[in-house]
């Protein structure tokens, strides 16, 4: 296959390219709707205001896709670690030259434009992780490989958290999809899910109440590992009912101490029954669980700032915060669109600026109000069709590097879309994360275009790579 054939587009995946450009166009139209002035229609223009700036970003992004497509595919794998180091240096530079916006030092200011390095760090991390996992001597089942692989995305994640920018940092967890595809044990993900659950419980409930629950679960586990389970299970049911009854009477300390005593009794019995490995594992897991619960509670009340606490409370405990304005207005805007929507440029809540950050983080509520349920589902369908297509491209790659990279792109896109759309509907915390190709902003659309351009190039060379 000649370079001329590749450049002519014979091997380009047109579906991926068309879906990407379609999302850019939809985003441009929605951004224009946000900035539309119904009182002075003569002042509106697709090439002025935020719509005009986004038009520039889209033009540059399209050019980026073209440029990355004509670059030799081996370039990206050969210089993957150098690209990663540049990404880390850009993040470190923020602590010296960064520009603060809304409490986060996450941008470089260049004249009237700003650049957010965390968006490009996602690409740099993805390409470095793909290169590392594709080496012939790496095995994700080995501890050394796991440490290196996790370190590659935890380092930029940590630097971004220091800015602080929790939303962008969260996206780096999408690389767990790549490690899972490479064969990382599902036990890691089960442990991670349980850990997240404990952390969230530690934010909402009294830590001692959660520990009481952990003790009851531990006692039940120990019961299942001794003889005469039937009678013990009946006894446990009675004990659980007694625990709930006494707790409801306000005697929490008494029942807490009783549970500790019962747990220790079963623990000693199991140890004497020569099931010491079970005792050791269960004790360690319980200790880690207790540590996580107290750490989450301490971090929330002693370390997080008040506005950060409000954002979490707005998600987990709405009754405890007044910081629900963004989410409430967003849900009202989406709900007001009904089944078919109010029509393009007819969104009253959009035109009256009821929802803050509507062109960036909350762009989806504009879609919901003007295009309704049908339009929202259609756009979500396009997004997930793009993600599905990328996964399809990943599975057809002969190069392990290309397959890992493609899964990284799919994971980043999925997490971005899930969190962004979820927070506009109050399903996840408001963390400030753009909707790929649709939200206003140059850094985001340029970074995602770079990812897609490299993916298209790698896929076009799948028969020769």
Q: Which residue has the higher pLDDT, 265 or 126?
A: 126
Looking at residue 226, its pLDDT comes to 66
Looking at residue 7, its pLDDT comes to 47
Asked whether the beta carbons of 424 and 360 are under 8 A apart, the reply is no
Asked whether the beta carbons of 208 and 252 are under 8 A apart, the reply is yes
Asked whether the beta carbons of 356 and 323 are under 8 A apart, the reply is no
User: Hey, CA dihedral for 150, 155, 156, 160, is it positive or negative?
Assistant: positive
Q: For residue 319, what pLDDT band results from cuts at 50, 70 and 90?
A: low
Res. 79: pLDDT tops 50: yes
Q: Give residue-wise pLDDT tens across range 446-461.
A: 999 999 999 999 999 8
**C-alpha distance across the termini of the chain, in Å:** 12
Q: Where are the domains of the chain?
A: 3-184+318-460, 194-304
Asked whether the beta carbons of 428 and 315 are under 8 A apart, the reply is yes
**SS3 for 189?**
helix
Q: For residue 82, what pLDDT band results from cuts at 50, 70 and 90?
A: very high
Q: Mean of the per-residue pLDDT values for the chain?
A: 83
Q: Name which of 56-60, 133-137, 233-237, 254-258 the model is least confident about.
A: 233-237
Strand order in the sheet with 113-115: 99-101, 104-110, 113-115
Res. 424: pLDDT tops 90: no
Of 147-161, 177-191, 416-430, give the range with the top mean pLDDT. Answer: 147-161
Tally of helices (H runs) and strands (E runs) in the chain: 20, 3
Nearest alpha-carbon partner for 440 in 340, 339, 366, 372: 366
**SS3 for 100?**
strand
């Amino acid at each position: 296959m000649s370079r001329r054939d590749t450049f002519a587009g014979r091997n380009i995946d047109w579906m991926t390219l068309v879906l990407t450009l379609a999302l850019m166009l939809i985003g441009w139209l929605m951004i224009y709707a946000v900035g539309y002035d119904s009182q002075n229609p003569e002042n509106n223009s697709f090439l002025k205001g935020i719509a005009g700036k986004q038009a520039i970003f889209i033009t540059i992004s399209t050019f980026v896709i073209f440029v990355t497509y004509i670059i030799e595919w081996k370039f990206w794998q050969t210089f993957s670690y150098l690209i990663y180091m540049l990404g880390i240096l850009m993040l470190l530079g923020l602590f010296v030259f960064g520009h603060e916006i809304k409490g986060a030092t996450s941008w470089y200011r260049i004249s009237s434009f700003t650049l957010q390095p965390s968006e490009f760090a996602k690409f740099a991390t993805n390409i470095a992780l793909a290169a590392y996992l594709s080496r012939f001597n790496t095995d994700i089942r080995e501890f050394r490989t796991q440490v290196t692989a996790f370190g590659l995305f935890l380092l930029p994640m940590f630097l971004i958290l220091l800015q602080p920018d929790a939303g962008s940092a969260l996206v780096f967890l999408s690389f767990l999809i790549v490690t899972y595809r490479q064969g990382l044990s599902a036990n890691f993900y089960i442990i991670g899910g349980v850990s997240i659950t404990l952390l969230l419980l530690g934010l909402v409930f009294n830590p001692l109440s959660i520990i009481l629950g952990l003790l009851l679960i531990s006692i039940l586990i120990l019961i299942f590992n001794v003889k005469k389970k039937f009678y013990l299970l009946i006894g446990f049911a009675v004990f659980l009912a007694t625990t709930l009854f006494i707790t409801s009477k306000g005697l929490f300390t008494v029942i807490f101490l009783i549970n500790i005593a019962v747990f220790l009794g079963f623990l000693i019995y199991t140890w004497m029954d020569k099931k010491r490995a079970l005792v050791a594992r269960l004790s360690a897991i319980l200790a880690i669980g207790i540590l996580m619960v107290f750490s989450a509670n301490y971090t929330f009340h002693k370390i997080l700032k008040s506005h950060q606490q409000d954002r979490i409370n707005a998600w987990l405990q709405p009754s405890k915060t007044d910081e629900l304005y963004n989410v409430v207005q967003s849900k009202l805007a989406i709900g007001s669109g009904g089944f078919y929507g109010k029509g393009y440029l007819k969104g009253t809540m959009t035109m009256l600026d009821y929802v803050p950050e509507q062109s960036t983080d909350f762009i989806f509520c504009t879609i919901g109000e003007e295009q309704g349920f049908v339009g929202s589902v259609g756009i979500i369908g396009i997004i997930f069709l793009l993600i599905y297509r990328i996964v399809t491209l990943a599975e057809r790659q002969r190069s392990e590097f290309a397959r890992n990279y493609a899964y990284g792109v799919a994971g980043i896109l999925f997490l971005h879309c899930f969190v962004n759309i979820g927070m506009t509907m109050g399903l996840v915390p408001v963390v400030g994360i753009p909707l790929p190709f649709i939200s206003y902003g140059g850094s985001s659309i340029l970074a995602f275009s770079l990812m897609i351009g490299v993916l298209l190039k790698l896929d076009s060379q799948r028969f020769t790579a």
